[in-house]
Structures are given as structure tokens and as C-alpha cells.
Amino acid sequence: MRLLLPVALLATTIAIAPVHFDREKVVRVKPQDKNQVNIMKNLAKDNELDFWYPDAIDHVAANMTVDFRVSGKEFQSIQSALDQNRMHYEILIDNLQEEIEKQFDVKEAVPGRHSYAKYNNWDKIVAWTEKMVDKHPEMVSRIKIGSTFEDNPLYVLKIGKKDERRKAIFMDCGIHAQEWISPAFCQWFVYQAAKSYGKNKIMTKILDRMNFYVLPVFNVDGYIWSWTQDRMWKKNRSKNHNSKCVGTDLNRNFNVSWHSSPNTNDPCQDTYRGPAPESEKETKAVADFIRSHLKSIRAYISFHSYSQMLLFPYGYTLKLPPNHEDLAKVARIGTDVLSTRYETQYIYGPIASTAYPTSGSSLDWAYNLGIKHTFAFELRDKGRFGFLLPESRIKSTCKETMLAVKFIAKYILRHTS
């Protein structure tokens, strides 16, 4: 017992000491040439910078918009280095802690109850999955596809009729813990799809002929941690051998060009790929489920934030996939359809050239597995709020995204065998 006591005390201490971000800033810089890129790289070496976009210093290139988080203490030296080198910068967020608190700007109609207009914690999401099955037993079923490192369940909601042979789309949200708008969309999608069956002509037609498998939160442990301890947490919560640093980036852990990026092999980096492909319980569970349903899955869609992009393969190479024109056409029309609601502008294209190169991503893995229509949405916004999109913008984000997803589903029904 005496050996266990310090651990228990430590856990209690951790539980009451969440990370605070007082005076931390989010800064935007656009390096104009190679020299300015090198200045950025040197600043990243000498200071603790958390890159929001792109997700690592190695991806920073000339004429790219770069967003990073920096402590109030380090900001002064960063500021003077930028001024000295005549590099234009913009402060997107002046006090990160204040912005985190401002994110919850929608009042709860019923305190403690799940709401589509608010961000919901994991407990509320679990209760919501049960409620959806109870409310729509003919249309929604819940499948436990595995469990996480911390033994939380991984639930997929199947929407559609019982026939397993029908075409299907697999969708996941929340692979990165801090991207809260992503799970909010998956919840909205399930709710709208189930609610509008038999009432909305397009949704009824889609669900009469197709199933959806929706994973509302991929990275459950990380998502819980982002609610309780560290709002900006990204990775899962697995322990790393011979390292005090925790977690793997689940979107670098898929078995596709897994070891091609040297910047993903450090357990202390947010882009750590893990010790081996599919080393993480979450990745393995999702990969196994998709492999076992490969006969029916015709499209794979992953939801992230932020930057307003609709991306498709490849991320690990600039080479274009054989059906590039088809993917570009779907993405072009999808972004056009999305913009009809609130005039939100998205750009589209292959991951590597439109955003930045990535290795071990779920999108490239699913494509190489044989699912020839794979897409990733980078939801709102373009950086003003970044990962901290206010709750007051959840519904509009979900409504416009729903239009694009419905278009993709109709396209899959018409154009895949």
C-alpha cells in the first residue's frame, strides 16, 4: 500500500492542476524567402514554439502562412527577432487563456445536457450514442470496434438499414484531440441523418441505398485530456518506451510511408508517428474495422480543423493518384456546394501540395487499401480562432459541411460500382 500512495497522491495533484495559457499568444508569420524560413527554423530551435499551421517547423516553406503559439515570456525575443529581420507578423490571439474561456459562448438550454450547439465532453457523447440508438433503433446501431490505451470504448455508429452489402462511407472525427469542431460535426451528422430520414428527400434516398459508419471521437483519451488537463493536447495518451513524453499522433501511425518523415520519430513532438505502424490501439481498431468492411466501403472521410480545405491523396508524395481528376472534380463541386450556405470559401487539392507533406496518414492508407474516394475536411476557420472556434459558430459550420458530405454521398452512389 505504501508504494501505491505516492502514485495516488500524484494522480490527485495532476487532476487539480490543468495547464493554463495566461498571456500566451498565437502569432502568424509569412516567410517571404528561404532566408526568412531559416530565421523561423532558428527561432523554433531556441524557443518553445507550438506550431498550429503547419504542424511542424520542417513543413514551413517560403510564402506559406505559419501560425504558432508562444509563451508571453518568449514572445518579446521572438518579436524583436522578427522586427530585426523585417518579417511582418500578426498577433491572432493575444491571450490564449482568455480565448479558451470565450469559446464557450452559447448558454446551456438545460445545464448538463448534450447539445448540438455546444462542445460536449466524452461522458455526454457516450450518453448521446445510447440515446441515438434508443431513438432510432431501425436506423442507428452502435458497434464497439475496440478500446483505447486507457481502456475507453471506441464506438462506431452505423446509420442505415441492416443490409451489410450496400455501399458504405466510413467517417471519423477527432483524430487530433484539440480539434473540437470535428467531433461536433460527427454528432450533428448522425443527428441530422437519422432525424431527416423519411422527411428530407435527398437524405432518404441516400439512406435507402447506402450505410454510414461514423466514429464520433477517434482519439478518445486525448479528447478527455483536452477537456480536463490541457486544451491544446493533440496526440493520444499512450506511454512511450524510454521517454517521459506521452502520446502518438494517430494520423502518423497508419501503415503508409510510415517512416518517410524524419521529423516524426521524436516522442516529444506532436507529430510523433509511434514505435511502429498501427502500434496504437486506436489506429489498429479503426484499420481492422475498415479492412473487415472493405467490400462495402466506397469512401472514407476524415474531419479535422482548421484552415478550410478539402484534401485528398497523396500526402506522402507529390505524385498524383491515378483518379486525380475524379477526386479533384468531387472536391471542386463539394467546396462549391459548401459555399452556397454562408459563402465560406474552401480551397481543395492533394494534401502534399495544398497543405503540406504528411506520412502515415489515414487518408493515404485508406486510398492505398483500395478505397478510391478518400477526403479530409479541414473545417473552419482560417486562423482567427484556430482550434478555438467559438460555440456560436458550430451550427453554421456543421450546416455547410453537411451539404458537401451529402454531395459526396450522392456522387459515390452514382459513380462507384
Catalogue the active-site residues: 378
HSE-CB for 270 with a 13 A CA cutoff: 19
C-alpha cell at 406: 451529402
Cα gap 343→340, rounded to integer Å: 6
CB 277 within 8 A of CB 258: yes
In 10 A of CB 240, how many CB atoms? 17
Cα gap 384→389, rounded to integer Å: 9
Strands 153-159 and 66-70: unpaired
Cα gap 60→37, rounded to integer Å: 7
The 3-state secondary structure of 32-67, one letter per residue:
CCHHHHHHHHHHHHHCCCEEEECCCHHHCCCCCCEE
Going 172 to 177 to 178 to 181, the CA torsion angle's sign is positive
Cα gap 363→257, rounded to integer Å: 12
Cα gap 197→307, rounded to integer Å: 31
In this structure, what are the phi and psi dihedrals at residue 381, rounded to the nearest 5 degrees? -115, -150
Cα gap 337→217, rounded to integer Å: 26
- Helix ranges (H only) for 143-271 are 181-196, 201-209, 220-228
Exposure b/e, 259-292, CB count within 10 A at least 16 = b: eebebbeebebbbbbbeebbebbbbebbbebbee
- Helix ranges (H only) for 210-359 are 220-228, 281-292, 324-342, 351-354
> By three-state DSSP, how is residue 408 classified?
helix
Residues 6 or more apart in contact with residue 268 via CB below 8 angstroms = 243, 245
> By three-state DSSP, how is residue 380 classified?
coil
